[in-house]
Amino acid sequence: MKKETFKVKGMHCASCSSIIEKSLKKTEGVESVEVNYSTEKAKISFNESKTNLEEFSKKINHLGYSLETLSEETSNKPTAQEMGMSESEHSAHLGLNQSKKEKLAEIADMKKKVMTAIPLAIISIFIMGWDILAQFKAVSEMPFVWEEFFHHLLPIFATYTLFIIGKPYLLGLYRFLRYGKANMDTLIGLGTSVAYLYSFIVTAFEETLQPFINVNNTYYDVTIVVITFITLGKYLESRAKIKTGDAIEKLLNLQAKTALVLRNDKEQEISINEVVHGDLLIIKPGTRIPVDGIISDGSSFVDEAMITGESMPVEKKIGDTVMAGTINTTGSFNFKATKVGKETLLSQIIKMVEDAQGSRAPIQALADKISSIFVPIVLVLSFITFGLWLFFGWKTLGISQSISYGLTAFVGILVIACPCALGLATPTAIIVGVGKGAKEGILIKDASTLEKLHEVNTVVMDKTGTITKGKPELTSIKNLSLQLGSGQAKLSDEEIISILVTLEKKSEHPIAHAISEYAKSKNIQSLNISDFEIIKGKGVKGIIDHTEYFAGNTKLISDLKISLDIAQIEKETSQGKTPIILATKNELLGIIMVSDAIKPEAIEAVKNLHKLGIKVVMLTGDNKNTALSIGKEIGIDDVMAEVLPDEKLNKIKELQSQGRIVAMAGDGINDAPALAQADVGIAMGTGTDVAIETAGITLLHGDISKLVKAIRLSKITMRGIKQNLFWAFIYNIVGIPIAAGLLYPVFGWLLSPVFAGLAMALSSVSVVGNSLRLKTKKL
């Protein structure tokens, strides 16, 4: 079975997605269909040997919808760009699936129509208002000349509004009459058309009908105002939908925009989209690697933190693989491109965000089910209501009044019923939630993960790269020269670091980089050195200012026959620290400790998780002493050390068997099974692509504090979804009976279709607005 995501054009409401799903499911060879109204995408699983895009299109084109492949816009472009990401793909996350330019043009057209219709609606409301106020004696009757003028003007306004502004609704009605498929456009089209036709007949045959009905009751104003409000609502909704999904543009900025390639023996800087398999790329110090490939010339150290979670920059030489998004630190090299465009990890991350925004949360299932049967039920209800008004109102109200009230209720029900509010309630909040997460460096794979996360009560963390930085740092300096006797040179801490950085500056060892980085941060300069020598497996030596210095491990000091407090060093070593000892031929000068330092945000993150009532467990393969020491320092509730990868999986199962809802945060290949088993898997963005693939959530840049933000985001998003669904359900449950005239027998109130139209327009806009409000929430 092939799974493919298509762009859908022509959808106007939640019922549209249901119609498309039902139509496509009837196609032979189709296994499953999932259509999302908010993102305007269709995910179809089908048998290629039995069906294709052409067959899908046949099923829905006559209903006013069309499907396009996401790569269609690149199909006629060179191979290089086919392998890149098209404008359509970059903007698909906007909930549009048209290029942004195309969608903005559509919104501009809607704005023109709205701006044309609003003056007509204002005039209609002015006339309605005057009539209502005159009935309550608040103002005098409208002058006869004015009344006659408006009597002939309103039909012209209504004709323009219905057939020009309201064309989409008339098409919805036409497709219903021809094919039996109804959506929200059908409801609006039927309601406004009936109001218009009734009014037109009364106007055309005024004298003939006068003895039987009140010919002064026309509904041109209803046609004008309802269509204006609905169109205004759609315009505001479309504008809001663009704002819900602007997050991926931020992600795209992480990607290299250009690449330096060698073609025809010349260096050329080209767009990343133009890089093809086999291109020879030139990488200079400090630049980001644009695509994946294999080094063919040169060597360097590459910071792969974004991809592998490696503790420090990794040495790369001829034959080694480099990956897009990683950063070259020192040296230069050339490499051959093997993976480009959508094949790279960053592109996979972007796709993950798009897929998440288009996925369905379990909480959405009820709303989808109701939306699918909503329109047919409303159509039936409207006709029953009209019939009941005629049947019961005939004797008590008279034929004229019963027709008038029946028609008002009929149009009111059709207009006020809003499947859109239900259809937008969950996906708009998901789009905003996923987008907000992406801006914060929190990548969410799907909506169900976001929903599940708010229930988590136990967080399990790996140590290296999750709690710790995953790279060595200088953490302490013990200056032993100050304890030397009189007459012997005493050194300051800065002088010790200066000597060490001088000895280590020619070394490519990661610990040397840790010393060098510390010296840079303190603005400590290196000195001149002579007779530099590497003592294999032990350290280095060299002459600085006529004194021979040694720097290395305990073996080197032992060879120099200098006494050393081995017990103290072993104690610190058991905590995961690595000693670098500085000495002369006869004396110890200092000991510095280099270790994989705890991330500054880790302690605060654990505190905040505790505030949320979440238990924190550390699960690591490292030795017990190191793990317990770190666990105690940052306030971990439970430490499980010296755990093998398959045992990590069993530990997660054990916690789940105790009724815990577990989120697991890890960054390596060895964490992948546990991430998959956890209720929510959380990969650190500095980790391996395997971990990222397995996890439901990825925290970019390996920032553990983002875990707390992710949980808060889940809680905020779920609260927004529940608010949206509550108001969408309440709106329809309360609005439809009122429009039907339920309050008329008690209070004498009958809802005007004009107010029904206003309420319907506001319902969708308010749901999208509430979702957009999530953007302002602080995580």
Residues with Cβ within 8 Å of residue 252, at least 6 apart in sequence:
90, 350
Q: Which two tokens stand for residue 505?
A: 């500056």
Percent helix, strand, coil in the chain (nearest 5)?
55, 20, 25
Q: Which of 446, 462, 622, 679 is the catalytic position?
A: 462
Q: Are 32 and 45 in contact (CB under 8 A)?
A: yes
Q: Given the structure tokens 């509904």, which residue do they identify?
A: 219
In this structure, what DSSP letter does residue 644 have?
-
The question of whether 462 is a catalytic residue gets the answer yes
Q: Given the structure tokens 């990956």, which residue do they identify?
A: 323
Query: Residue length, the chain?
Result: 779
Residues with Cβ within 8 Å of residue 599, at least 6 apart in sequence:
467, 468, 469, 702, 703, 704
Q: Which H or E run includes 271?
A: strand 266-271
Q: Given the structure tokens 């169109």, which residue do they identify?
A: 231
363: left (phi over 0), alpha (psi -120 to 50) or beta: alpha
First to last CA, the chain: 41
Residues with Cβ within 8 Å of residue 345, at least 6 apart in sequence:
306, 307, 323, 324, 325, 689, 692
Helix then strand count (H, E) for the chain reads 28, 26
Residues with Cβ within 8 Å of residue 17, at least 6 apart in sequence:
11, 35, 36, 37, 368, 371, 423
In this structure, what DSSP letter does residue 288 have?
B
User: Residue 535 to residues 3, 147, 315, 558, 712: CA-CA distances in angstroms?
Assistant: 59, 106, 20, 13, 53
**Residue 337 φ/ψ, nearest 5 degrees:** -70, 130
Radius of gyration of the chain (CA): 35
Q: Are 395 and 207 in contact (CB under 8 A)?
A: no
Name all contacts of 83-88 with Cβ < 8 Å and 24+ positions apart.
Answer: 83/273, 83/275, 83/276, 83/277, 83/340, 83/341, 83/342, 83/343, 84/271, 84/272, 84/273, 84/274, 84/340, 84/341, 84/342, 85/273, 85/341, 85/342, 85/347, 85/350, 88/7
Kindly provide the residue ranges of all beta strands, DSSP E only, lying in 651-694, ordered along the sequence.
Answer: 662-666, 680-684
Q: Residue by residue, what is the 3-state secondary structure of 74-98?
A: HCCCCHHHHCCCCHHHHHHHHCCCC
Q: Are 712 and 608 in contact (CB under 8 A)?
A: no
Nearest to 321 by CA among 348, 278, 349, 291: 291
**Residue 69 φ/ψ, nearest 5 degrees:** -75, 150
Nearest to 172 by CA among 280, 13, 387: 13
Nearest to 111 by CA among 32, 228, 16: 228
**Residue 105 φ/ψ, nearest 5 degrees:** -65, -40
Active site residues: 462
